Amino acid sequence: MSPKRAPEPSDVSSSGWLAAGTGLAGVLLGAAAVMLGHGDRLGAREPTAVSPVVIPMPAVPAAPSLPDAVAATIGTVVSLRTPSSVGAGVIVDAEGWVVTNMHVVADVVGAAGISRGSEHEAPIVRARFLDGRELAATVVVADRDEDLAVLRLSGDPGERFAAARLGVSTRLRVGESVFAIGNPHGLSHTVSSGIVSARDRPGPGSGGVPLIQLDASINLGNSGGPLFTSDGALVGLVTGREREGQGIAYALPVDHVRGFLHAITQQGGRRAGAVGL
């Protein structure tokens, strides 16, 4: 009995694919012909004139650059020096009222009030302007609990000073750009910038007031200096930093500072918990 031969490989599969491919090619060519013919027929029509519609867009004012914002605000900042400390302050009234941290001027504040020293040598604070001019400043009110103090510049009679524009600290957003101007290590009118890292942080020496956390470079001597937004609004007073770690500093919100100033005005220079003349 002769052995069975293996079946020859079938050509159905290959011929089937070939046929399908040929058929598909024919369909595509046919479709192309139809489309080209359709395009020719469309092209034969007269073009329709279309008038462009122009929608006017309102102009968006450009945000001020950091150098512009610094130039507009740095004249409102004074570097402060006492017999044993350095810090900064910001002018908040054209008559020469300066706000700073109480701990910046603590050595000139007595236990029961503002220490007056001797009759001929009252302890004063020296305030230095950007142009190098120096004026004496006297502490009018100091509040240990809230770490705030108000000073008065002794300028010429009738002299008017550039004052900061108070913003609204509750409108600050996390991630918003801010910059500080201070007197770190006695380096007058030093600028550092960063962002708002967080809001409503608890902090030491703030009287329980929630603080603004920022990541700008803050050093000894920045205390009492202003914190501005990128458009030049005063939103806080730099009050301290974490001793361990970097890029963690705090500022007292300007909304609280505004309330402090209002209370002083209403109470004739005095308020509960404060000492002053």
At 93, list the tokens: 């009234």
**Residue 103 bears catalytic tag:** yes
Catalytic one of 143, 192, 223, 255: 223
Q: Are 197 and 80 in contact (CB under 8 A)?
A: no
Beta-ladder partners of 234: 166, 228
Q: What share of the chain is helix, strand, coil (3-state, %, to 5)?
A: 25, 30, 45
Pairing outcome for strands 86-93 and 97-100: antiparallel
Measure CA 208 to chain center: 23
**Residue 147 bears catalytic tag:** yes
Q: Could you please report the per-residue DSSP string of 25-71? A: HHHHHHHHHHHHHHHHHHHTSPPPP-PPP----PPPPPPPPHHHHHH
Catalytic one of 79, 85, 147, 256: 147
Catalytic one of 103, 143, 188, 206: 103
Q: Are 127 and 135 in contact (CB under 8 A)?
A: yes
Q: Could you please report the per-residue DSSP string of 91-111? A: EEETTTEEEE-GGGSGGGB-S
**N-terminal to C-terminal alpha carbon distance within the chain:** 132
Q: Could you please report the per-residue DSSP string of 150-182? A: EEEE--STT-----PEE--GGG--TT-EEEEEE
- Active-site annotation, residues: 103, 147, 223
